[in-house]
Chain A
């Protein structure tokens, strides 16, 4: 039962261009969303989050957009840099007390 879906297992983007990673969810009760980034042989690290009361949150080169009606969120990275090559996990939760549900991740390759 995949409540958080990242349908693209991988994505390749030219350095300097925009990377867009997508995430769909099925549970309309989700009200908090997060993105984590993972390098090989390391644990995931927190990147950015967004509450369902917002539709956009920005932190430097990273922007997360939330479309509640479509149950879709996306992570934009502009401009993409070589160090952005990693696996990106989308995650969501219901309410303050609930556990976080992670997607399977999308591997981003930044091409020189």
Chain B
């Protein structure tokens, strides 16, 4: 009964491959996010979706493509993986429309290692 669940937990892959990370929330929230925690430990927003509509799209390479089939799911597809993509990716959700004052509920993260 995990509130925000993401799979896989670990992903080890070769440079140049394409991979996806899936996220689902059962909280009934309207907004979902992808965050990246890089090697310097900063947590940075990549995308947010409200009711399947893209709200925030930070300066992220277009190799990264989010997809929200419904408001309970937000998947992240990454094409042509590069070494610098190695990081921990967190999915999150919030109850409202995605304002900065909303409490975020995070998944447990996906550790991506690109070799």
Residues of A within 8 A of B (CB): 32, 36, 41-46, 49, 89, 93-100, 102-105
Say if the beta carbon of B49 comes within 8 Å of chain A.
no
Residues of A within 8 A of B56 (CB): 99
The CA of A93 and the CA of B106, in the complex, are separated in Å by: 18
B43 contacts A89, CB within 8 Å? yes
Q: How many residues of B contact A (CB 8 A)?
A: 22
Interface centre among A41, A94, A102 (most CB of B within 10 A): A102
Q: Are A105 and B41 in contact (CB under 8 A)?
A: yes
Cβ of A34 to closest chain B Cβ, rounded Å: 8
A97 to B41, CA, bound (A): 24
Which of A94, A97, A100, A102 has most B Cβ within 10 Å? Answer: A100
Instruction: Say how far B63's CB is from chain A's closest CB, in angstroms.
Output: 21
Of B13-21, B71-79, B97-105, the one touching chain A: B97-105
